[in-house]
Structure 1
Amino acid sequence: MQPDPRATQIIAQAASDSKTQNVTTLEVNGYTDTSGTATYNMGLSVKRAKAVAAQLVADGVPANEIEMHGYGETHLLVPTGPGVREPQNRRVEIIFH
């Protein structure tokens, strides 16, 4: 799963900002929309979080400062019914702690 150029730029900015802010942990949370099964979506959300975490490490963030979570189709940004393809729900959030 290769992030698009804009996503790569955002991840690089997060890595850079984590070095200049008082950050002890970066929480990387992956999410999906409701298309697909709940089991598949849970795995996909973890895969998304791992891809972003790997890029953060490539951009200089120590792996031990990254905490990853996959939330599957829970915590929808745009509430939808089951089986709905919603691009805004397919996301990874990077939270500084």
Structure 2
Amino acid sequence: GSPTRILVVGHADTSGNAQYNIGLSNRRARTVADALVSQGVNGGVISLEGRGETQLARPTADGVREPLNRRATININF
């Protein structure tokens, strides 16, 4: 069947201030959602969240550039 809900969550590393990173993580999630739609996924089932630097994949001190923390996750429910 088709997905009933897709949640795209954007994340950022700790370089840049926390407020900037919220915006960055939102843009990251939007970019992934747009890519899914361009591949034929129904945009009506996609929800977006930006978590900024609040859920680091690799914990670092503030101000650290860490590629593993610059990511988006996709959760698909059927």
The TM-score with structure 1 as length reference comes to 0.76
- Amino acid corresponding to residue 76 of structure 2 in structure 1: F
Residue in 2 that maps onto 1:88: 68
Of residues 41, 53, 56, the one that matches 2:33 is: 53
Q: Larger helix proportion, structure 1 or 2?
A: 1
After TM superposition, give the deviation of residue 23 of structure 1 in Å.
2.6
Count of residue pairs the alignment pairs up: 77
Q: Which runs of 5+ in 2 are unaligned?
A: none
Larger RCO (CA within 8 A; separation ≥ 6): 2
Of residues 44, 59, 69, the one that matches 1:79 is: 59
The TM-score with structure 2 as length reference comes to 0.93
Q: Larger strand proportion, structure 1 or 2?
A: 2
Separation in 2, partners of 1:57, 1:44:
20
Percent identity of the aligned residues?
49
Q: Which runs of 5+ in 1 are unaligned?
A: 1-20
Matches within 5 A, 1:1-97: 23-97=3-77
Off by >4 Å, runs of 4+ in structure 1: none
